[in-house]
């Protein structure tokens, strides 16, 4: 491989690479605002100016190809002077309103101002004032004064989404961005411009002013909005999710996620009005105000389900597994159905809507139907529904789903004598259940899901529930960690009285004399890896932050 020198270090480069790319490959970050690895090169912010030996002027690292033997300095007096001058220029009209800016704490301009600016300006005149509150679209707010005209947002819409909705208007100090006449920034991926924007010019209308980034912790997770399983970070303050943002995984979602995934997959976790916060049980003497359901403790609810299970023959009992739940929850449910109850009546309800989008969004609106197929759990079919309608199946145990998603719901509901629900939130019809177990949501548990590419990915607890499992590898980090002031999400805020579904099912198995013996979720996964060939050889460590692909071996049941 050819080589060049960067700040005295000999680095290899691939022919055709620019200085900034070759440095990045070597783990060296040259300051940049307008450059982004997924976008075309604009070369307009100039902060990446470097000194190149024998070149008469500074060169921008994002648009200068490396050549054999080239000698580049990013920290020579000349390079530092050029960077300082660019910072002074960019800050001339910048409002410096960091104390009220959502981006503060994660802003490139702020970081570089601390690192590279001389800390004073020669500009004594009145700053240029512009509109600070432009609604670019339903989800994105624009502050014109903060914009440094890097054009990342414009190029993203054109080049990544393929929907050019933004453009520059005017010139010089008057320049700003706008949507085209009569258009809004409303593509399904519009909110990615928020993280792309290197300053606080583009902010989330959902998250604006709701928390400072240094008051929150963030945990690596996976979006559960569809079968893509975009890697994301869950940001939490006082045990309440404040925002989801994408996490880079070049094999799954690159740098992006869709607006639906960001906005619609966290609110139900926070929603005190719909969260199930106690086991509930139907009793005839309880007032109709409460739909006949009474709050009970865990032991009473479990005892009631066990007694109902004993009232029916194995073939009269059915289990609805969940493509919204983890492999671990579904595997333990499957073991319970087969080994304890002795029935093969276990299926799941698919959720396919429309077609796969050109970018990210999948027609399969569940995060784990692939995982269920690999476990050998099949989608529900007419034969199964007929068994319910003809009352051959009399008791149904539904984990993290709703039979309301089936056609002929009312007929099906009337045919069922006993319905046990293990759910995180109430929904229409759920109050007709015989017993309800409060289930921890995806944001409160450890576990794995398998996306449409067969990629096994980890969920981690970002929010604490009353009975929290904490594995040694669990981590949430905060912007304050670097100052040693870790924001411990486990000690603050309200907690729901929920349990991971597999733990409740194991507790029931124990009463039947067959304790599966799992101490934590990781042990459940280890058992899956031992019994299901598709997952052979995997463990939580090998899945890591970015996931691994499950083998193509034929699925077998536990
Ligand atoms: S709004 Fe942000 S991303 Fe768009 S041009 Fe301005 S600084 Fe760049
Ligand atoms: S594409 Fe799917 S997985 Fe990705 S953010 Fe959107 S809903 Fe979530």
Read off the CATH number of the domain in which 453 is found: 3.40.50.740
Domain tally for the chain?
3
* pLDDT level of residue 288 (50, 70, 90 thresholds): low
Which residues 6+ apart lie within 8 Å of 226 measured at CB? 261, 361, 362, 363, 364, 365, 366, 367
Quote the CA–CA distance of 306 and 295 in Å, as a whole number.
18
pLDDT in tens, 137-151: 999 999 999 999 999
The predicted pLDDT at position 544 comes to: 94
Q: Are residues 322 and 199 in the same domain?
A: no
The predicted pLDDT at position 285 comes to: 62
Is any atom of ligand 1 closer than 6 Å to the C-beta of 462? no
Please indicate, yes or no, if residue 378 is contained in any of the structural domains.
yes
* Boundary (domain end) residue, out of 91, 114, 147: 91
Domain span at residue 188?
123-209
Q: Are residues 174 and 78 in the same domain?
A: no
Mean pLDDT, rounded, for 463-474: 78
Please indicate, yes or no, if residue 18 is contained in any of the structural domains.
yes
What is the Å distance from ligand 2's center to 297 Cα? 36
Quote the CA–CA distance of 447 and 451 in Å, as a whole number.
13
Please indicate, yes or no, if residue 103 is contained in any of the structural domains.
no
Is any atom of ligand 1 closer than 6 Å to the C-beta of 148? yes
Q: Are residues 72 and 135 in the same domain?
A: no
Mean pLDDT, rounded, for 431-445: 95
Q: Are residues 301 and 401 in the same domain?
A: yes
- Token pair belonging to 235: 């940001």
What is the Å distance from ligand 2's center to 191 Cα? 12
* Boundary (domain end) residue, out of 181, 209, 237: 209
pLDDT exceeds cutoff 50 at 185: yes
Please indicate, yes or no, if residue 377 is contained in any of the structural domains.
yes
- Token pair belonging to 471: 């594995």
Please indicate, yes or no, if residue 98 is contained in any of the structural domains.
no
CB 167 within 8 A of CB 181: no
What sign has the CA pseudo-torsion 461, 462, 464, 465? negative
pLDDT in tens, 242-258: 999 999 999 999 999 99
Please indicate, yes or no, if residue 482 is contained in any of the structural domains.
no
**Secondary structure string (H, E, C) spanning 322-349:** CCCCCHHHHHHHHHHHHHHHCCCCEEEC
Q: Counting atoms of ligand 1 from 1, which one is nearest the CA of 166?
A: 4
Please indicate, yes or no, if residue 173 is contained in any of the structural domains.
yes
The predicted pLDDT at position 557 comes to: 38
Quote the CA–CA distance of 443 and 270 in Å, as a whole number.
10
Q: What is the mean pLDDT of the chain?
A: 93
Ligand with an atom nearest the CA of residue 201: 1
- What pTM does this model have? 0.94
Q: Are residues 19 and 131 in the same domain?
A: no
Mean pLDDT, rounded, for 227-240: 95
Q: The sheet that has 447-450: what strands, in order across it?
A: 447-450, 455-459, 548-549
Q: Are residues 157 and 83 in the same domain?
A: no
Q: Are residues 380 and 429 in the same domain?
A: yes
Which residues 6+ apart lie within 8 Å of 34 measured at CB? 42, 43, 44, 45, 62, 150, 151, 152, 198
* Closest residue CA from atom 1 of ligand 2: 361
Q: Radius of gyration of the chain from Cα atoms?
A: 27
- Token pair belonging to 192: 């990615």
pLDDT in tens, 67-115: 999 999 999 999 999 999 999 999 999 999 999 999 999 999 999 999 8
Beta bridge partners of 49: 60
- Token pair belonging to 127: 């700053």
Phi, psi of 173, rounded to the nearest 5 degrees: -70, -15
* Closest residue CA from atom 4 of ligand 2: 230
* Boundary (domain end) residue, out of 209, 237, 259: 209
Please indicate, yes or no, if residue 191 is contained in any of the structural domains.
yes
- Of 234, 260, 356, the residue with max ligand 2 atoms within 8 A of its CB, to mutate for a pocket test, comes to 260
Q: Are residues 351 and 414 in the same domain?
A: yes
- What residues are in contact with ligand 2 under a 6 Å CB criterion? 223, 225-226, 228-230, 253, 257-258, 260-261, 360-361
Is any atom of ligand 1 closer than 6 Å to the C-beta of 476? no
């Amino acid at each position: 491989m050819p080589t060049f020198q960067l700040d005295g270090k000999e680095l290899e480069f691939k022919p055709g690479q620019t200085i900034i790319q070759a440095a990045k490959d070597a783990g060296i970050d040259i300051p940049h605002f307008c450059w982004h690895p997924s976008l075309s090169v604009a070369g307009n912010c100039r902060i990446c100016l470097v000194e190149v030996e024998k070149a008469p002027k500074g060169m921008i690292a994002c648009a200068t190809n490396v050549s054999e033997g080239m000698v580049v300095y990013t920290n020579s007096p000349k390079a530092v002077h050029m960077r300082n001058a660019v910072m002074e220029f960019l800050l001339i009209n910048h409002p410096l309103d960091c104390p009220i800016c959502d981006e503060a704490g994660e802003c490139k301009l702020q970081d570089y101002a601390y690192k590279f600016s001389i800390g004073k300006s020669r500009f004594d005149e009145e700053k240029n004032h512009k509109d600070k509150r432009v609604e670019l679209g339903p989800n994105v707010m624009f502050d014109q004064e903060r914009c440094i005209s890097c054009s990342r947002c414009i190029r993203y819409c054109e080049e990544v989404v393929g929907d050019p909705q933004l453009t520059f208007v005017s010139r010089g100090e008057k320049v700003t961005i706008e949507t085209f006449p009569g258009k809004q920034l409303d593509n399904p991926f519009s909110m990615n411009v928020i993280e792309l924007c290197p300053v606080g010019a583009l902010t989330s209308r959902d998250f604006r002013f709701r928390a400072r980034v240094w008051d929150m912790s963030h945990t690596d997770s996976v979006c559960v909005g569809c079968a893509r399983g975009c890697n994301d970070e869950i940001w939490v303050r006082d045990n309440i999710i404040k925002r989801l943002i994408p996490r880079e995984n070049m094999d799954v979602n690159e740098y992006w996620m869709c607006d639906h995934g960001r906005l619609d997959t966290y609110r139900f976790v926070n929603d005190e009005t719909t969260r199930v916060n106690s086991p509930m049980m139907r009793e005839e003497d309880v007032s109709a105000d409460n739909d006949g359901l009474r709050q009970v403790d865990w032991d009473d609810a479990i005892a009631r389900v066990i007694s109902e299970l004993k009232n029916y023959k194995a073939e009269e009992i059915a289990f609805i597994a969940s493509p919204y739940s983890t492999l671990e929850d579904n595997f333990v449910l499957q073991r319970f159905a087969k080994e304890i109850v002795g029935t093969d009546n276990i299926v799941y309800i698919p959720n396919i809507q429309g077609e796969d989008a050109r970018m990210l969004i999948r027609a399969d609106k569940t995060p784990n139907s692939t995982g269920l197929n690999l476990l050998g759990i099949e989608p529900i079919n007419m034969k199964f529904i007929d068994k319910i309608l003809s009352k051959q199946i009399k008791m149904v145990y539904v984990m993290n789903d709703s039979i309301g998603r089936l056609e002929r719901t009312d007929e099906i509901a009337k045919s069922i004598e006993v319905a046990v629900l293990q759910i995180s939130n109430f929904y229409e019809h759920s109050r007709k259940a015989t017993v309800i177990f409060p289930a921890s949501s995806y944001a409160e548990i450890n576990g794995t899901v398998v996306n449409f590419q067969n990629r096994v990915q980890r969920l981690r607890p970002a929010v604490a529930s009353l009975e929290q499992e904490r594995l040694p590898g669990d981590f949430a980090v905060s912007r304050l960690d670097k100052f040693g002031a870790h924001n411990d999400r486990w000690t603050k805020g309200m907690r729901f009285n929920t349990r991971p579904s597999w733990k409740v099912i194991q507790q029931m198995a124990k009463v039947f004399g067959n304790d599966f013996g799992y101490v934590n979720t990781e042990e459940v996964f280890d058992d899956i890896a031992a019994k299901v060939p598709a997952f052979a050889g995997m463990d939580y460590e090998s899945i890591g932050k970015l996931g691994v692909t499950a083998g193509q071996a034929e699925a077998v049941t536990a």
